[in-house]
Chains A and B, each alone.
Chain A
Amino acid sequence: MARVLINFPQRAKRGEIIEIKTLIQHPMETGYRLDSKGAVIPRDIISRFTCAYNGDEVFRAELFPAISANPFIAFSTLATESGELVFSWIDDNGQIQSEIHQITVE
Chain B
Amino acid sequence: MQLLLTRRRILWAAAGAGLASFVPTAGATEDTMAEAIRDLIGEAPVTPGKVKLELPSIVENGNTVPLTVSVESPMTEADHVESIHLFNQKNPQPYVAAFHLGPRAGKASVATRIRLADSQRVVAIARLADGTFWSGSADVIVTLAACTEQ
Contacts and interface: CB of A to CB of B under 8 A. Distances in A.
A72 B91 CA distance: 19
Contact of A64 (B22, B63, B97): B97
Contacts of A71: 112-113
Nearest to A56: B104
Nearest to B65: A68
Interface string A2-41: 0000000000000001100000000000101111101010
B106 A67 contact: no
Interface string A69-84: 1011111111010000
A1 interface: no
Nearest to A53: B104
B2 interface: no
Interface residues of A, number: 33
Given A34-B150, A60-B100, A72 B112 contact: yes
B23 interface: yes
A63 B95 CA distance: 9
B92 A65 contact: yes
A35 B99 CA distance: 32
B97 A77 contact: no
Contacts of A76: 105-107, 109
B57 interface: no
Contact of A68 (B22, B106, B110, B115): B115
Nearest to A62: B98
Given A36-B150, A60-B99, A67 B114 contact: yes
Contacts of B110: 61, 73-75
Nearest to B106: A17
Contacts of B23: 32-34, 40
Nearest to B98: A62
B127 to A, nearest CB: 13
A58 interface: yes
Interface of A: 17-18, 30, 32-36, 38, 40, 53, 56, 58-69, 71-78, 80
7 contacts: A17-B107, A30-B115, A30-B147, A32-B92, A64-B97, A66-B88, A77-B105
Given A58-B102, A68-B113, A71-B112, 5 more contacts: A56-B104, A58-B105, A60-B100, A61-B110, A71-B113
Interface pairs A-B: 4 shortest CB-CB: A17-B106, A74-B111, A68-B113, A60-B100
